[in-house]
Structure 1
Amino acid sequence: MNNELLLGRQPVLDQHQKLVGYELMLQLEAGDKTPPTYNPSRAAMLICAAYAELGIRSALGRNIAFLRFDPMFFHEDAIEAMPPDAVILELALETAPDAQTLARCRALRERDYSLALANYAGLDERSMPLLNMLDVIKIDIREHDENKLRELAGPLAKLPLKLLAQGVETQEAMELSKKVGFELFQGYYFARPEIVSGRRLMASQISLIQLINLVSRDLDTAKIEDGFKHEPALAANLLRIVNSVGYGLNRRISSLRHAITLLGRRQLQRWLQLLLMTPAEETPDPSSSPLLQVAALRGRMMELLLRHSYPRNGTLADQAFITGIMSMMPTALGLPMHEIFEQIALETSVMEALTSHAGVLGKTLALLECFDADDSQGCMHMLDQLPEAGLSLGTLNSCLVESLRWVNGSTEDR
């Protein structure tokens, strides 16, 4: 499974745009969602296998995995290998549930599993028998206008369950869904904001850019320390980060110079770039911020892929991480890439990768852009463009899980 199929993911957010979890799915070959040989029960079995085989439970941290099952596989014992506190089981029904399915739902509820109903189309023979056992109802908002969404959501408002809007791809769609009563939202709308040329950066962002440039130019620690001294909030944040990581020390760090030395230039640059993508009132927490998670995952996955392909070229792996992070910077800042280049010092190979997908960095970035877009056909095409890298679908799956683990809790090599 790990070498033949691509594990896809769709982020699920709450009303505050905090990451709740991911719907895990299999990306089918050639981008075809319903090929003649597609077997939903086998797909569900492979999702369960992937969850166990790849260690997804620990990789997701506190985030929930939404797993969809067809009625046939819903009765399999393999489902109960999933931890109840870490998954939501989605039941996809085409017809009314039979007595066996209802009994299975009751048994799973007694074992503390949370249940969701996919493809909700109203109070009918398919949904009515299940209502008192559901925690989540999913509605694909792309299939309905506003009036129909209100009609579907209204009767459910007083029930102790949450409505999840599937297919939310724009901010407008998210706002509409929120207005009619949805509490959970699935899609990549947060990564598609308006980009405006000439938009002015906030003072805090300008200060961060100055520090990023100091670090990337490999100046003396004293000059970097002086830059932090002019930004007390950032200095306090730096000390908090280093002290929370610990580094096996018996005493807390109070010196900026010591903190900079312990954290290291590479990690300091990564932390500052993530901080640049964070609202001014918050600290960077990729495990809860969807935009930061996409950026951190893309950066870490690029780094791991390049380490895999070119194990003796640490510089290329470092550039890969920076390329992945920077690819999300226009989204975070609302600025076109060429204006960001005017303010942040980057190496030529990184800039060429970001603007034209040039070189191995650019091709790897294009591969991960397809991966994030659930474009399996695009992934296969880009893997063919990187024959010398020795990458496979299995490599992508493994790097995704390792990157999720890194983002969601592991401080090793941060």
Structure 2
Amino acid sequence: MTDDQSLRNAFLFRQPILNRQQELAGYQLSFRSSATTTDSGPVATAALCAAYSELGMQSALGNHCAFIAIDADFLHQEAIELLPPASVVLELLLDGVADKATLTRCQSLRARGYALALTDYRGIDDRSRPLLPMVEVIKIDLVAAEAGQLRDLAGSLRKLPIKLLAQGVTSREQMEHCRNLGFELFQGRYFAQAEIVRGRRLSASQAALIRLVNLVGRDVETALIEDAFKHEPALTLNLLRVVNSVGCRGSRLAQPVTSLRHAITLFGRRQLQRWLSLLLLAPSHAADPSRSPLLQVAALRGRMMELLIELGPPGNHRHLGDLAFITGILSMMPIALSLPIEEILEQIAVEREVRSALCEHGGLLGNILALLECFDNDDAPGCDQLLSALPGHFDHLTLNTCLSVALRWLNGGSE
């Protein structure tokens, strides 16, 4: 199978990797089709190399690193050097003790600026000992390591200049336990898990944001929105800062904006509603809300929904496109607010198509939302089933390309 065929016949999945501050530090990238249960091997790795050139993944990921699994065979191929050293971490998939040629190749890649990671760490033994001076990251799989063993594995590396990465983190409790043991990186979607509590009271800041979202979404006079902002000085300051830094439609402003009414007009109702909705997903204690992984997943999902609507059959693209982004954002609200979606929609006014998509995966918006939920959960069979049911000519490459374009947009590109 050629690299291009790999891009067309498998899904480019990503698993977020967070740092100790619970900010996005990178992604584990993998290719997988519904016909395979593993993403390793020369074909999958070659496809990831192709993704960098054909999908523009280097610019799409911005400052975030991509963790890519490299088996012993592909380690020696020249194609690996097509990957940008500053943007990737090469994960060594080595079953046994590395031979002299493998160690020499690792030293060569390290000299070229590549960061190396050792997977499936089981303690300091003949397999790991010669590699420890060359690797920057050690991955420990929480599924494979027993509870009592985890402390010993982390302790054996405490004095070495190596970052520990906990793989397969499924809950915040697991993350906290690993952080207390000295882990610095955490792989998994545990941040997107939440206990839904019916009737839960929203915080004052959340309630204020929802009031503003509703006001902006309705056809009310700007004076009413301005008055609501005046009761939220922190939000007003943030809005002025955002508009001054971004300007009107992305262009720099000739003069700073100091009037709240002027800022609302320049920003536009649609962009203002998006911005306020995204703020609902950011933790209140975050120094930089834009680095919240939940917010980034929501924004990425919203942008991908927009792109897929645009690529669909001719019709009411403009109307559904306007609704697609907000649908993607709202789909993550139950996690951020710990409330059922039905209770959230009692407080946020949405159009009928959005409600149907969120509550029952109804209509085209609902089908695309279901597809992206499978995509986020690395569910290749589910993605295949939903792709085949969508109207139009959607395939694996369509989804992979939309991911790259959306990531580039998320990281400040022009897409």
Per the TM superposition, whether the score is higher than 0.5 is: yes
TM-superposed CA distance for 1:236, in Å, is 1.0
Moved over 4 A (4+): none
Match of 1:51 in 2: 52
Alignment equivalent of 1:382, drawn from 386, 389, 402: 386
Matches within 5 A, 1:277-296: 277-282=281-286, 285-286=289-290, 288-296=291-299
Contact 2:42/2:71 (CA < 8 Å) preserved in 1?
yes
**Change over 3 Å in CA distance of 1:281–1:122 after alignment to 2:** closer
TM-superposed CA distance for 1:179, in Å, is 2.5
Structure 1 alignment gaps of length 5 or more: none
Distance 2:156 2:234 in 1: 48
Partner-residue secondary structure (3-state), 1:21:
strand
Distance 1:370 1:389 in 2: 19
Across the aligned residues of Structure 1 and Structure 2, the Cα RMSD in angstroms comes to 1.5
Contact 2:139/2:167 (CA < 8 Å) preserved in 1?
yes
Match of 2:406 in 1: 403
Distance 2:45 2:11 in 1: 14
Alignment equivalent of 1:24, drawn from 3, 24, 29: 29
Q: Deviations over 1:372-404 (max 9, x none)?
A: 000010000111221x23211111111101111
Contact 1:194/1:334 (CA < 8 Å) preserved in 2?
yes
Match of 2:325 in 1: 321
Distance 2:410 2:77 in 1: 32
Match of 2:338 in 1: 334
Distance 2:191 2:146 in 1: 21
- Is 1:154 equivalent to 2:158 in the alignment? no
Length, aligned pairs only: 406
Partner-residue secondary structure (3-state), 2:28:
strand
Distance 1:409 1:211 in 2: 26
Distance 1:333 1:327 in 2: 11
Match of 1:14 in 2: 19
TM-superposed CA distance for 1:18, in Å, is 0.8
Match of 1:99 in 2: 100
Residue identity opposite 2:9 in structure 1: E
Distance 1:367 1:273 in 2: 22
- Is 1:367 equivalent to 2:368 in the alignment? no
Name the % identity. 56
Matches within 5 A, 1:121-136: 121-136=122-137
- Is 1:297 equivalent to 2:300 in the alignment? yes
Partner-residue secondary structure (3-state), 2:133:
helix
Q: Deviations over 1:62-118 (max 9, x none)?
A: 111111100111111122222211111111000100101101111111112110011
Match of 1:5 in 2: 10
Distance 2:341 2:204 in 1: 19
Contact 1:319/1:350 (CA < 8 Å) preserved in 2?
yes
Contact 1:171/1:193 (CA < 8 Å) preserved in 2?
no
Distance 1:39 1:160 in 2: 28
Alignment equivalent of 1:357, drawn from 357, 361, 369: 361
Contact 1:275/1:283 (CA < 8 Å) preserved in 2?
no
Residue identity opposite 1:357 in structure 2: H
Distance 1:176 1:4 in 2: 39
TM-superposed CA distance for 1:248, in Å, is 3.0
Match of 1:224 in 2: 225
**Change over 3 Å in CA distance of 1:179–1:200 after alignment to 2:** same
Match of 2:312 in 1: 309
Contact 1:27/1:375 (CA < 8 Å) preserved in 2?
no
Distance 2:197 2:392 in 1: 36
Q: Deviations over 1:150-184 (max 9, x none)?
A: 12111111100011111111112212222322211
TM-score relative to the length of structure 2: 0.94
TM-superposed CA distance for 1:283, in Å, is 6.6
Distance 1:111 1:189 in 2: 34
TM-superposed CA distance for 1:332, in Å, is 0.5
Alignment equivalent of 1:251, drawn from 239, 250, 255: 255
Residue identity opposite 1:321 in structure 2: F
Matches within 5 A, 1:26-41: 26-30=31-35, 32-34=36-38, 40-41=41-42
Partner-residue secondary structure (3-state), 2:69:
strand
Structure 2 alignment gaps of length 5 or more: 1-5
Contact 1:274/1:284 (CA < 8 Å) preserved in 2?
no
Contact 1:116/1:136 (CA < 8 Å) preserved in 2?
yes
Contact 2:7/2:47 (CA < 8 Å) preserved in 1?
no
Distance 2:13 2:136 in 1: 23
